[in-house]
Structure 1
Amino acid sequence: MTNQLPEVAIAILYQDNKYLMQLRDNIPTIAAAGCWGLFGGHIEPGETPEVAVKRELIEEIGYELPTFAEFGCYPDEKVIRYVFQAPLLVDINQLELNEGWDMGLLTLEDISSGSCYSAIAGEIRPLGTMHQRIMLDFINQQSADK
């Protein structure tokens, strides 16, 4: 008997040493409500994580993911996260936010501090705990590879 955890595919999108993140809707029933997180979402039945991340980015921000690579897998007691990474090859103004409260290009300082200001929310909002961990892992790996 297996209890299959839900699976999600999320993307680290980077541009000029900044990282595109979504301010999640402030709905108490969703994970990391009102927090900054990575774009992506649930993997549909029969989908691979690679297909899911491409679909989710088109749905959420109208971005056709270019060449991308797997970064890692982050399971916990609630969900299995497949994380991919790719450059953001368009200006943020060319993206259309279809899901979430706000989006922004966060700096290393934002990610390290665990919070970032949102003009739409009109306040500083926290990063989701797991999303911050994933981003710090990614940034540390990028620094180590240089």
Structure 2
Amino acid sequence: MSVKEGTQIILLNPRRQVLMYLRDDKPEIPYPGMWSLLGGMLEHGETPAECVRREIEEEIGVVLDPDRIEHVRTRDLHYGREHTFFAPIDIDIDDVVLTEGQRLGWFSETDAAATTLAYEDNAIIAEFFAGQPQRETIR
């Protein structure tokens, strides 16, 4: 049996806030009604980078520039392998049409730490912020 592989992305705005979505509140899905990073499962023959770009376009209608996406790390967790990426983003979430989940929200480092996130996202976000330089704007 092969390992399930998924992707997620830390989309960081110029105010150092991470874009998250509130998962649907359906008992048949993992982590119903919890906040999570955006992402999804790899399709056959797809690379993790291709997957995360596809998922973001499908879920929020944003086409990410492949040259602005950085691989953060890959973790093996109890539910499978997770590839985490980072990209700077500057969007107004009120203009986004969300196709999955209940709503979008911006989370500061403090907000994320104070919220129990799906998919063990607290650990990856804390690790990400610990390694990020303080800066006013993103490249």
TM-score range normalised by the length of the shorter chain: 0.7 to 0.9
Report the alpha carbon displacement of residue 109 of structure 1 after superposing the two structures with TM: 1.5
- Residue in 2 aligned with 1:43? 42
Other-structure match for 1:11: 9
Aligned counterpart in structure 2 of residue 137 of structure 1, from 110, 127, 132: 127
Report the residue type matching 2:125 in the other structure: M
Q: Which runs of 5+ in 2 are unaligned?
A: 135-139
Query: Aligned partners of 1:81, 1:73: CA distance in 2, in Å?
Result: 6
Task: Point out the more displaced range, 49-58 or 74-83.
Answer: 74-83
Consecutive unaligned residues of structure 1, counting only runs of 5 or more, are 116-125
Q: How far apart in 2 are the matches of 1:22 and 1:91? A: 14
* Structure 2 partner of 1:29: 28
Q: Per-residue deviation at 1:93?
A: 2.5
Structure-2 separation of matches of 1:108 and 1:101: 22
Residue by residue, what CA displacement relative to the aligned partner does 1:98-132 show, whole Å, maximum 9, x if unpaired? Answer: 1001110011121111x2xxxxxxxxxx4225111
Q: What is the RMSD of the two structures over their aligned residues, measured on CA atoms? A: 1.7
Q: Which residue of 2 aligns with 1:90?
A: 91
CA–CA distance in structure 2, aligned partners of residues 134 and 90 of structure 1:
22
More strand by share: 1
Provide TM-score, normalisation by structure 2: 0.88
* 1:45 alignment partner, SS class: coil
C-alpha separation in 1, matches of 2:133 and 2:106? 19
**Count of matched residue pairs:** 132
* Separation in structure 2 between the aligned mates of residue 69 and residue 79 of structure 1, nearest angstrom: 21
The aligned counterpart of 2:53 is 54
Normalised by the size of structure 1, how large is the TM-score? 0.84
Pair 1:106-2:107 in alignment: yes
Structure ranking higher on relative contact order (CA contacts 8 Å, 6+ apart): 2
Partner amino acid, structure 2, of 1:68: I
Deviation at 1:92, TM superposition (A): 2.0
